[in-house]
Amino acid sequence: MLQGLRTIVYYVGDLEAAKEWYKKVFEIEPYFDEAYYVGYNIGGFELGLNPDDTGYSNGNHSITYWGVENIKSAFDRLASMDVDIHEQPNNVGGDVWVGSIFDPFGNVIGLIENPAFKLS
């Protein structure tokens, strides 16, 4: 049985650069920091950075959406970090908004503002 989102791993190639970039994005230090993997606990979910990107390209076909309270301010903050925009924030129904950017390593980072979703 599926239990919900637990971990997203981004394959980054340059682990030191990725570690610094994600520390800046999420404004936290990693809880696990080794040469083969760096892990961040973000609101009870894991963001993992793996330096071995040999089997991956910039064309993966999935987006993980990270919850935000205010998509405009969160998106503006990320966009100010000189990233490429994947999808401008847009309303996808009701009060739900999504948008996404590319990190410097080719991964798509999605943001979602969904006031109906509350962690229990």
Domain coordinates of the chain in residue numbers? Answer: 1-52, 62-120
pTM of the model: 0.75
Read off the pLDDT band of 57 (50, 70, 90). low
Q: Which two tokens stand for residue 105?
A: 């390593």
Cα(15)–Cα(63) distance, rounded to whole angstroms?
A: 21
Helix (H) or strand (E) holding 7: strand 7-11
Domain 62-120, CATH number (from 3.40.1030.10, 3.10.180.10, 3.90.1150.10, 3.40.605.10): 3.10.180.10
Rg (CA), the chain: 14
- Residue pLDDT, tens place only, 64-117: 889 899 999 999 999 999 899 999 999 998 999 999 899 998 888 899 898 887
Give CATH for domain 1-52. 3.30.720.120
Q: Do 1-52 and 62-120 share a fold?
A: no
Cα(80)–Cα(72) distance, rounded to whole angstroms?
A: 12
62 CB-contact burial (10 Å; exposed 0-12 / middle 13-18 / buried 19+): exposed
Helix (H) or strand (E) holding 86: strand 84-93
